[in-house]
Amino acid sequence: MLIGVLLFIGMGTILIQQCTPQSNGINSRIAANDFVGDRQCKSCHASQYNDWLSSDHFKAMQPANDSTVEGSFNDKTFTADGIVSRFFKKEGKYFIRTQGDDNRYHDYEVRYTFGYKPLQQYLVAFPGGRLQVARQNWDTKNKKWFHQYAGQKIPSHDWLHWTGNAQNWNTMCAACHSTNLKKNYDFEKDVYHTTYSVMTVSCESCHGAGQLHIDYIKNSAYKDGEKVKGSYMQMPKNTDQAGQINTCAPCHARRSEISADLLATPELMDNYIPEIPSTEFFYADGQAKDEDYTYTSFLQSKMYNRGVRCSNCHNPHSGKLVLTGNGLCLQCHSPRYDDYSHTFHQAGTIASECKSCHMPGTVYMGNDLRYDHTFRVPRPDLSVKYGTPNACNNCHKNKSPSWTAGAITKWYGSNRIYHFAEDLIPASKGDANSEGHIMRLLNDTATPSIIKATALYYLKDINTRNSSQELLKNLQDKDAQIRYRALRSLANFPAEVWLTASAPLLSDNVRAVRIAAADLLITVPSGQVPQSYYTAFTKARNELEKYILYQTDFASGNVMAGDYYLKLQDYYNAEKFYLRGLQKDTAMNYARLNLSALYNATGKNNDALKVLQDALLTDAKNDRIYFNLALLYNEMKNPAKAEESLLKAIALKTNNPRVYYNYGLMLQQNGKTKEAVGMLGKGLELSPLDADLNYTLCVLYVQSNQIDRAKQYAGVLKKYYSGNPAYDKIVQQLGL
């Protein structure tokens, strides 16, 4: 079978919240605790309660009525991207007349408000327990309607359409806007029975269920002086840095949730899998690019390394900053940093504010300005070299990065203090030089753990002995994110490399790590799993399956499930989930690629071909589709179509070295050795350490008696792939 299966390991973010309890020796009791509602807290915590009433948390979600709705519903109209919407009231209720999923206009009742500053969104009820976020938002500062996806004409059945999966409250939004939310998705019926204890983000969202705490305070033992640490509450007063961050992270991080069954534990990755700052969602230097929130950024920062907690800057109850302006930073930093000699901008201007340079802002959701929490020094010199953004050019948009880099040199001299971005950026490229940069990041004790995890993620694309050994070494790291990413990257290496070393992690003390270990070991025959770990394997695999099935209300979650069952060679369920994913998102071509691989694996090549042809109708400029078509046509004994597809992938400037490898082999088989060498060389430009490309070129040069040139490629095989019998043989033949 020639078609490679595309395993969709990472999933789109599903924003679902449940706060992580602090470890205090009473986890079993807390797990059985009951939610009592915010009003039970008011009598003892009036100050905090009143602060909360003024917060964004309090207004996260509310019933739509005259006191909560900010938008103008006085028979107003708004036109955006070909859609004319009307906002009006009828019998005391709020309505939006707009286009539905059938391309027709309907009157939709607004049931709830969602947020309030700087924008307010509106929720509409649909069958199946769904709530959908209307595409029209109210700008509370400028008092006007606006379209969050300005300029995008979104078809009625598109995933991003306001009636589609991307704008579904139950999946995308709910648990970060309500307290003790239970999604309760019924996969078979594709319906929700979502519940919550409090509609909005209340006291118990962060402090946990309050019944035990109230009972304890009312108990005579408490009045007699008997004290229990934390008083049966999560995140009590003076909670340490880890406790605070892990309580806030579930909503202030880009992450996926593992299960509906939340574990009472201080370890975040028992319940969530946070994103790392890879180039999938971040810039190559680690700065936020997509809507990435703050957790991953903050863990890169010096502030985090020095023990700074969320509450050092933010009032946890009102959500407001504890001080305004540069005074916030001067709590810890010397006043000289607020002087012109440091800022080189006039005092009192926006440009002289610390956040302008060290927390550059990005607008999300159309009008929501959010600040990067990496707290880094601007590096326009890296912008010049690599094209990454920098804070200086955020303001000086009419100047080049070279100009701003010159200004920095003029003010601060030519020497820059090392930043991990200097290695992280080239590490992300996956070329011949990347491995060295990755190793420097991993061996530097000053590298933040979240960056080391990212470096391990990049090692997946560098299939060398050094890389595999580094990944294996990091399976023992104390940081769960590092162990998790090492396991994920090992999936790109042969099983004999990792089988023995990864099996112990089936019993890891962190659920995400156990899941990753199980996902790795299901790819080998069950008889190869070490017998002493088989019980742990069974338990971890059950956790893995629960994790995967929990995501199936989300389009990409169905592809995850399809991939899972494809690994198990359960083709019936794999097909079912791929097709379900495509129902939710018709543009999701990686589902089609994997579905085609499934049909190929089961001998249904005509079906596989039809799926790939459908994929081209969605995206005719996707080089991966043409590559898979080429492999399929080759298997179907149609070399002319296979070559045509490879040439189309090349014409699209594919970055996949396997395209050039396969076309090089085809040319060589057709007696076009010179052209084959040229094509293989192009593949090697993209992946200089690729073992197959180096080996094939080495063999071709040996066959043409160009020994010196053959030795060039044999040297790579010797340095990075010693231990492979075929490679070692040709290396020995060449006398290396």
Question: What are the start-end ranges of the E strands in 344-473?
Answer: 361-364, 368-371
CA distance 606 to 666: 23
Distance CA 628, CA 646 (A): 9
Domain annotation covers residue 501 = no
Please tell me what DSSP assigns to residue 377: P
Helices 657-669 + 691-703 axis angle, to 10: 30
Give 353's contacts (C-beta < 8 A, 6+ positions apart): 325, 326
C-beta separation of 297 from 374 below 8 A: yes
Please list the residues that pair with 362 across neighbouring strands. 370
Where does the pLDDT of residue 15 fall: very low under 50, low under 70, confident under 90, or very high at 90 and above? very low
34-73: pLDDT as tens digits: 999 999 999 999 999 999 999 999 999 999 999 999 999 9
CA nearest 391: which of 362, 360, 370? Answer: 360
Whether residue 552 has pLDDT greater than 60: yes
Pairwise CA distance, residues 42 & 45, whole Å: 5
Placement of tokens 């990753």 in the chain: 516
Task: Name the average pLDDT for the chain.
Answer: 92
| Last residue of one domain, picked from the residues 354, 386, 421 | 421
Q: Is 367 domain-assigned? A: yes
Q: What is the pLDDT of residue 463?
A: 86
Give the dihedral sign, CA 251/257/262/268: negative
Q: Can you tell me the distance from the alpha carbon of 213 to that of 231, in angstroms, rounded to the nearest whole number?
A: 6
Q: Is 529 exposed, middle or buried (0-12, 13-18, 19+ CB in 10 A)?
A: buried
Tally the residues of the chain.
Answer: 736
Say which residue the tokens 């989300």 belong to: 554
Q: What residues have CB less than 8 Å from 606, skipping those under 6 apart?
A: none
- Among residues 377, 398, 421, the one where a domain terminates is 421
Are residues 328 and 285 in contact, defined by beta-carbon separation less than 8 angstroms?
Answer: no
Residue 619 within any structural domain of the chain: no
Q: What are phi and psi of 147, to 5 degrees?
A: -105, 120
Split into its structural domains, the chain has a count of 2
Beta carbons within 10 angstroms of residue 418's beta carbon: 10
pLDDT mean over 104-129: 96
Distance CA 573, CA 564 (A): 9
d(CA 328, CA 341): 19
State the pLDDT confidence band at 403, using cuts at 50, 70 and 90: very high
Task: Kindly tell me if the per-residue pLDDT of 26 is higher than 80.
Answer: no
Structural domain ending residue among the three candidates 149, 177, 205: 177
pLDDT at 25: 38
Please tell me the predicted confidence (pLDDT) of residue 11.
32
pLDDT-based confidence at residue 12 (cuts at 50, 70, 90): very low
> What is the 3-state secondary structure of 565-599?
HHHCCCHHHHHHHHHHHHHHCCCCHHHHHHHHHHH
Yes or no: say if 587 and 613 are a contact pair by the CB < 8 Å rule.
no
pLDDT band at 156 (very low <50, low <70, confident <90, very high): confident
Cis preceding-peptide flag for 118 (omega within 30 of 0): yes
Type and span of the H or E element at 473: helix 465-473
Give 451's pLDDT tier (boundaries 50, 70, 90). very high
Q: Residue 187: which residues within 8 A CB-CB, separation 6 or more?
A: 549, 552, 553
Tell me, yes or no, whether 140 lies in a domain.
Answer: yes
Q: Summarize the confidence of residues 308-329 as an average pLDDT.
A: 96
Nearest to 447 by CA among 276, 253, 300, 274: 300
Question: Mean of the pLDDT values across residues 477-486?
Answer: 98
Check: CB of residue 158 under 8 Å from CB of residue 164: yes
Q: Is residue 112 part of a domain?
A: yes
How many angstroms separate the CA atoms of 512 and 272, rounded?
Answer: 7
In a domain, 356, yes or no: yes
The predicted structure's pLDDT at residue 31 = 53
Residues 6 or more apart in contact with residue 600 via CB below 8 angstroms: 1, 3, 608, 632, 635
From the number of C-beta atoms within 10 Å of its C-beta (0-12, 13-18, 19+), residue 225 rates as: exposed
Distance in angstroms (rounded) separating the CA atoms of residues 695 and 730: 9
Q: Any bridge partners for residue 679, and if so which?
A: none
pLDDT-above-70 percentage for the chain: 96
Structural domain range at position 383: 306-421
What does the pLDDT read at residue 14?
30
Q: What is the pLDDT of residue 67?
A: 96
Task: Round to whole Å and give the CA distance between 544 and 522.
Answer: 10
Contacts of 587 (CB under 8 A, 6+ apart): 158, 159, 618, 619
Task: Name the burial class of residue 48, with classes exposed (0-12), middle (13-18) and buried (19+) by CB atoms within 10 angstroms of its CB.
Answer: middle
- Give a three-class secondary structure readout of 70-106: CCCCCCEEEEECCEEEEEEEECCEEEEEEECCCCCEE
The reported pLDDT for the residue numbered 225 is 79
Q: How far apart are CA 197 and CA 677, in angstroms?
A: 66
What is the rounded average pLDDT of the residues 414-442? 94
Looking at residue 352, what DSSP letter applies?
G
Residue 20 has pLDDT above 90, yes or no: no
**Looking at the predicted structure, is the pLDDT value of residue 266 above 70?**
yes
The two structure tokens encoding residue 34: 């009951």
| Structure confidence by residue, pLDDT tens digits, 618-665 | 999 999 999 999 999 999 999 999 999 999 999 999 999 999 999 999
Which pLDDT score, from 0 to 100, does residue 148 have? 83
Q: Would you say residue 162 lies in a domain?
A: yes
Which amino acid does the sequence have at 281?
Answer: F
Tell me the DSSP string of 419-454: -THHHHHHHTT-STTHHHHHHHHHH-TTS-HHHHHH
Report the helix count and the strand count for the chain, using DSSP H and E: 34, 15
pLDDT at 28: 43
**pLDDT, average across residues 683-698:** 92
41: in domain: no
